[in-house]
């Protein structure tokens, strides 16, 4: 049980009658009891106040790698939950790339079994194919009824067109979501970073935007043929945004997300060969980054994800071409967007982190109203901080944000009877 008062918090929730208003909010034992211009509370009530206090519904991460099964030295569900909480998330969607993969009812149950004991809910994304290897289809109907919130091969793109076609057909009666990470892996083979002038200057093999574009073009054609719906994860270049924008205008049931990493950094960060910036999809050009932000602004891009991929020291502190791809980002995803958003409103960022992921997954959408259970992220939108290694909660330390001045600070996260105040 807890008793909490938010003093003069700006409410960022388009479904609330108090949207964009400054109010006192009283929360007791997990329920929002009062919202008013000014409230008095008892002495045992914890008060949170800050110069630019804001509150939204809790964030949902659509793309989180937690290698608890098989590589728990990189990240466990417990440490991922803690990092997610510090980043404002109340739900994380776990990619299927574990050992064993999330391709059976038992493996899904491992993710779901202790949810009721935690503030942050872990939601399994089941593998489309056995072991996420792209060869034999998993039992998707069973997995759907066992609690899978979506289907994907996660870190691996579905390169086999026949498997993608059959999956779209199988998932339609279930109204289930297929998530595809678009990449032609033959075109990116041995690639280290974005193909372009910077890669040439550094002497590194490039990963062309064409590899992403071709898969999106192919999958959109298959979607036209089969019907159903598809979600492209981690789009990273201007042409991808344009293709998805036109597909939406055509009426295709397509959605997409972008990593906060690609909204903040560009390929120039690799000039020092810092392996924490070695990502897949790679950091692209400034023009691509601007196109991604335009996609956020006009709602071509539906969701912002962390693309949290923990890697231990042995996977990162070595020659650049031998280092593994990926960065941790649960703690910093919102802060990165808040810092880099430029002309995009804070409300739009919140929508992409909180409302839209729930809509796409078909999850209940909480709201900030009286007599509703709390599912809240409480933050100061203008506080600045230098992110340091001491702040990292994940087991892995591979953050590209160390030393960056980030705008925004998470002050508390609440969900039902759970509340963490930082």
Does the pLDDT value for residue 58 go beyond 90? yes
Measured over the CA atoms of residue 328, residue 143, residue 111 and residue 254, the dihedral's sign is positive
User: pLDDT at position 43, please?
Assistant: 86
User: pLDDT at position 145, please?
Assistant: 98
* Shared domain check, 413 and 300: no
* Shared domain check, 355 and 263: yes
User: pLDDT at position 41, please?
Assistant: 85
Quick: pLDDT tens for 129-188.
Answer: 999 999 999 999 999 999 999 999 999 999 999 999 999 999 999 999 999 999 999 999
Q: Which of 136, 120, 134 is nearest to 180 (CA)?
A: 134
* Shared domain check, 303 and 218: yes
* Shared domain check, 221 and 357: yes
* Shared domain check, 204 and 165: yes
CA torsion angle 359 347 304 383 (round to 10): -140
- Assign residue 398 a region (left: φ > 0; alpha: ψ between -120 and 50; beta: otherwise): beta
- Domain total for the chain? 2
Residue 401 covered by a domain: no
* Shared domain check, 206 and 62: yes
Percent of residues, the chain, with pLDDT higher than 90: 97
* Shared domain check, 412 and 268: no
Could you list the residue range(s) of the whole structural domain that residue 215 is in? 57-361
Q: CA 66, CA 93: separation in Å to the nearest integer?
A: 9
* Shared domain check, 61 and 49: no
User: pLDDT at position 42, please?
Assistant: 86
- Note if the pTM is more than 0.85: yes
Mean pLDDT of all residues in 106-113:
95
Quick: pLDDT tens for 78-101.
Answer: 999 999 999 999 999 999 999 999
Residue 19 covered by a domain: yes
CATH of the domain at 381: 2.30.40.10
Tell me the two tokens of residue 19: 């949207």
* Shared domain check, 305 and 191: yes
* Shared domain check, 149 and 94: yes
Residue 397 covered by a domain: no
Residue 399 covered by a domain: no
CATH of the domain at 300: 3.20.20.140
Residue 133 covered by a domain: yes
Q: Which of 281, 276, 164, 293 is nearest to 229 (CA)?
A: 164
Annotation says 312 is catalytic: no
Strand 193-194, strand 206-207: pairing = parallel
Residue 154 covered by a domain: yes
Q: Are 199 and 149 in contact (CB under 8 A)?
A: no
Residue 391 covered by a domain: no
* Shared domain check, 83 and 36: no
Mean pLDDT of all residues in 280-298:
98
Q: Which of 307, 321, 380, 382 is catalytic?
A: 307
Quick: pLDDT tens for 366-378.
Answer: 999 999 999 999 9
* Shared domain check, 258 and 133: yes
Residue 303 covered by a domain: yes
Q: CA 359, CA 97: separation in Å to the nearest integer?
A: 24
């Amino acid at each position: 049980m807890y008793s909490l008062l938010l003093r003069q918090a700006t409410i960022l929730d388009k479904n609330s009658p108090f949207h964009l208003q400054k109010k006192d909010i009283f929360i007791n034992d997990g329920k929002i009891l009062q919202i008013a211009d000014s409230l008095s509370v008892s002495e045992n009530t914890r008060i949170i106040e800050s110069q630019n206090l804001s509150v939204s519904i809790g964030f949902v991460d659509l793309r989180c790698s937690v290698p608890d099964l098989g590589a728990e030295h990189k990240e466990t569900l417990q440490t991922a939950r803690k990092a997610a909480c510090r980043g404002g998330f109340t739900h994380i969607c776990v990619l299927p790339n574990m050992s064993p993969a999330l391709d059976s009812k038992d493996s899904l149950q491992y993710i779901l079994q202790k949810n009721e004991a935690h503030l942050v809910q872990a939601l399994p994304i089941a593998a489309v194919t056995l072991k996420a290897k792209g060869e034999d289809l998993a039992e998707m109907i069973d997995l759907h009824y066992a609690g899978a919130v979506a289907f994907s091969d996660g870190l691996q793109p579905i390169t086999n067109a026949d498997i993608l076609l059959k999956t779209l057909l199988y998932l339609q009666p279930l109204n289930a979501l297929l998530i595809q990470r678009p990449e032609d892996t033959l075109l990116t083979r041995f690639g280290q970073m974005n193909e372009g002038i910077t890669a040439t200057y550094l002497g590194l093999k490039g990963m062309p935007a064409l590899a992403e574009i071709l898969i999106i073009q192919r999958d959109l054609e298959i979607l036209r043929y089969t019907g159903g719906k598809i979600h492209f994860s981690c789009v990273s270049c201007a042409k991808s945004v344009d293709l998805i924008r036109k597909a939406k205008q055509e009426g295709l049931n397509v959605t997409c997300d972008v990593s906060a990493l690609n909204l903040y950094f560009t390929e120039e960060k690799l000039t020092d060969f810092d392996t924490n910036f070695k990502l897949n999809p790679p950091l692209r050009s400034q023009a691509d980054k601007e196109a991604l932000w335009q996609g956020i602004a006009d709602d071509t891009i539906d969701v912002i994800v962390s693309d949290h991929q923990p890697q231990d020291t042995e996977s990162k502190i070595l020659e650049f071409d031998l280092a593994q791809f990926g960065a941790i980002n649960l703690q910093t995803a919102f802060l990165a967007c808040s810092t880099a958003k430029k002309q995009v409103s804070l409300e739009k960022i919140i929508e992409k982190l909180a409302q839209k992921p729930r809509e796409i997954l078909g999850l209940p959408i909480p709201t900030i109203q009286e007599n509703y259970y709390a599912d809240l992220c409480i933050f100061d939108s203008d506080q600045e901080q230098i992110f340091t290694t001491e702040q990292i909660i994940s087991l892995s330390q591979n953050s590209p944000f160390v030393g960056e001045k980030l705008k925004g600070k998470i002050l508390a996260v609440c969900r039902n009877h759970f509340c963490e105040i930082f």
